Structure 1
Amino acid sequence: MKTKASVASGAILTLFVIGIFLAPSVLRAQQEVEEKPSVAETTLEQHKVRQITIDIIDNKVFGKVPVKSFHKKIHQNGTNCELCHAVKEPTAPPDTRNCANCHGTPEDAAKRTVKLDPNPHNSPHWGTELPCDACHKEHGKSEFYCKNCHHFDYQVP
């Protein structure tokens, strides 16, 4: 009888010791599963990293001017300056009239953003006359011009 009891006690003690050492691993594995990003999140992150890598290679290795991802096709990855600047080797920002070739007139832009309050394309100070490149920067980070004085929460593409 003593041997059965000692075997049972030994087995329980062994399981207890194993549990002490395995519990943290099991808990960590469970947390990793719970915190694991979705397939969509992972794919979006991979795409973002891939695009940043391509941009760095384009800009540093091939000497191309950085271009917003949504304009890459029409700009031919930064090699078609004439489309916006109207010259092959630009030295100045494009004229707002060139933006209108694809995006419509400033009045058209104001109509598309009429539901925003205040309308960034029809301001009390400028009306529809503020040049597009005051906010929209094709070769750099865009910023909302009105934020120089006001506190609106707009994301500018």
Structure 2
Amino acid sequence: MEGKRRTKRWPVVVGVVVVVVACAGAGFWAWHEQPSFCNAICHEPMDNYVDGYFEDATLMANAHEQAGTTCLDCHEAKLSEQVAEGLSWVRGDFSVDEAGNLSTVGVRADAKMCTRAGCHDFDEVAAATENWGGEPGVNPHASHQGTAIDCSNCHGAHETSYMYCNACHDYEVPDGWESPR
């Protein structure tokens, strides 16, 4: 009689294990999609980025958070990159600047990244900045340099934005931005 009872329990035990593993996997995946995942695992250097995303109203990252855009909407999670980043973190093979941000990030925000479906419409952005600062013909999004510069030359998602044009010109600088002059 005891042998029969054991044979009836194994499907229930296996079923429970499968459900628990599936729920844990789904929970982990949902957590992986959240900004808090990055700094829960890799406190240094990710704390600064996540704190800025949630708390620093001067950063473009915070404007994205306010709009409901998550980190992974811009930073596509590729398994090979995540493994390389994880190994780099474990080895301590990265450097941070005086503010605690990564010294060499390597991610540039270009028009292809920023104007993909569901994000920014470049024609609308350019139209909104026509005659910048009341100066006819001035438009920082219709630069005479064309594609030689990209969005991140000026827009700092995780750092103070920078009025790149003012390396040569003297245009109005938005509040909270830095200017080379």
Normalising to structure 1: TM-score of the pair? 0.47
Normalising by structure 2, what TM-score? 0.42
